[in-house]
Structure 1
C-alpha cells in the first residue's frame, strides 16, 4: 500500500540516498530527471536534510509503498511580498525506477495540498535549473507557470554539486492556483 507521511530524523539517510539517486551519477540516468550532464557531486547531504526537518514551517514529505521510499519533496512556508505565505516546493525526487508511473504527479499534488492546507500558502513557488527544459515542461503541464524571474546558481558552494558548465541559473515557477 502506498502512503504519504512526514519525514523524521530517522529518514535522513534514505532521503539523501533517494535524492542523489534521482539527480546525480549513473544511477540517475535510469530515469528522466537526471542532472548528471549538468552537475557532478552531491545534490544534498544529511546536514542539509536535517536542517530542513528542523526549520519552522518546513517538512519533507515521503511517499512510500510497503515501507519502501518511492519519492520525497521539501515544502516550506516563506513570507510573501503581499504579507501572505508562499509555499516553496523543492527537492522533488522520485526513484528513477518509478519515474513515468504517476508517482511524481501524486507527490506534487500532495505537496501543493500541504502547502495550502497545513501552511496556509496563498502562493506556490519552486525553482528549476533553466537548462532542464523537459522538467520545466512537465511542471507546466501540471499548472505551474514561469514567472519571468531568474535566480543565480550557487557556484562555488559544493553543497549543491559541482557544475559541469558555467551558464546554470534557476527559473522561478509559480502554481496557477497559488
Structure 2
C-alpha cells in the first residue's frame, strides 16, 4: 500500500506557465497519456493512440496564445499537473489537462478543474466551460460528467493521418464536446 503523503488543495501552487516550463510540461503530458509510464495512472491513452500527445512547439504556442493561460500546478516544488484555459466569446475552452500518473486518484483533478472554472469566470466572465474528449474514453467522460459536464453528442472527427495527434490504434475515434454551465 502506498503510504506517501498526498497533497491537499492547500499544498498546491497554481501559476501560469512560462517558456522555461515547456520541456517539463511536455514530459508531464506525455507521461499522463502515452507510453508505459502512463499505465500507472488511469488517464492513459496508450491502448488507443501511440506516438506523441504533444510537443514543445504546441506547448509554447499555448503559452503565447492570446486570451489563454496554461495553468501549471506545483506540489513540493515540482510540477505535478497542468491545464489550458482559453477565453472564447461567452465560454472558456479547457484542454491539455494532465496530472502526474503517480498522483492520479488523489483528488488533484477535482481541485484543479474547480480552480480552472473559477479562473474562467473571474478572468473572462465565462458562462460555460467547453472541452473535447476522445469518444473512446468512456471512463474519462464519466469522470467529467460526475463533475457536472454534460455530453452534447457533438462530434469532431479525429485527424487521422496527422501524426501530431498520435498514431491511432483503431478507426472509430472522434472528439466529443462536453459542456458545463458556470453560472
User: TM tier, shorter chain?
Assistant: over 0.9
Provide Cα deviations, 1:78-106, integer angstroms capped at 9, x if missing partner: 23xxxxx2200001100001000011111
Matched with 1:40 is 50
Instruction: Please give the alpha-carbon distance, in whole angstroms, between the structure 2 residues aligned to 1:18 and 1:56.
Output: 23
Q: Return the alpha-carbon distance in structure 2 between the equivalents of residues 128 and 49 of structure 1.
A: 18
Q: Distance in 1 between matches of 2:163 and 2:153?
A: 27
The yes-or-no answer on 1:166 pairing with 2:171 is yes
| Secondary structure, counterpart of 1:73 in structure 2 | strand
- Residues 128-166 of structure 1, C-alpha deviation per residue, up to 9 Å, x if partnerless? 000100000000000110112111111111111111111
Distance 1:73 1:120, change over 3 A: same
Q: 1:104 aligns with which of 84, 95, 109?
A: 109
**2:152 paired residue among 137, 143, 147:** 147
Aligned to 1:19: 29
Residue matched to 1:63 = 73
Whether contact under 8 Å (1:16, 1:44) holds in the other structure is yes
Q: Which ranges of 4 or more aligned residues in structure 1 deviate by more than 4 Å?
A: none
Number of corresponding residues: 173
Task: Flag structure 2 segments of 5+ consecutive residues without an equivalent.
Answer: 1-10
**In structure 2, what is the equivalent of residue 82 of structure 1?**
none
Give the TM-score of the pair, scaled to structure 1.
Answer: 0.94
2:6 maps to what in 1?
none
Partner Cα separation in structure 2 for residue 3 and residue 158 of structure 1: 34
Asked if the contact 1:5–1:63 (Cα under 8 Å) also holds between the matched residues in 2, the reply is yes
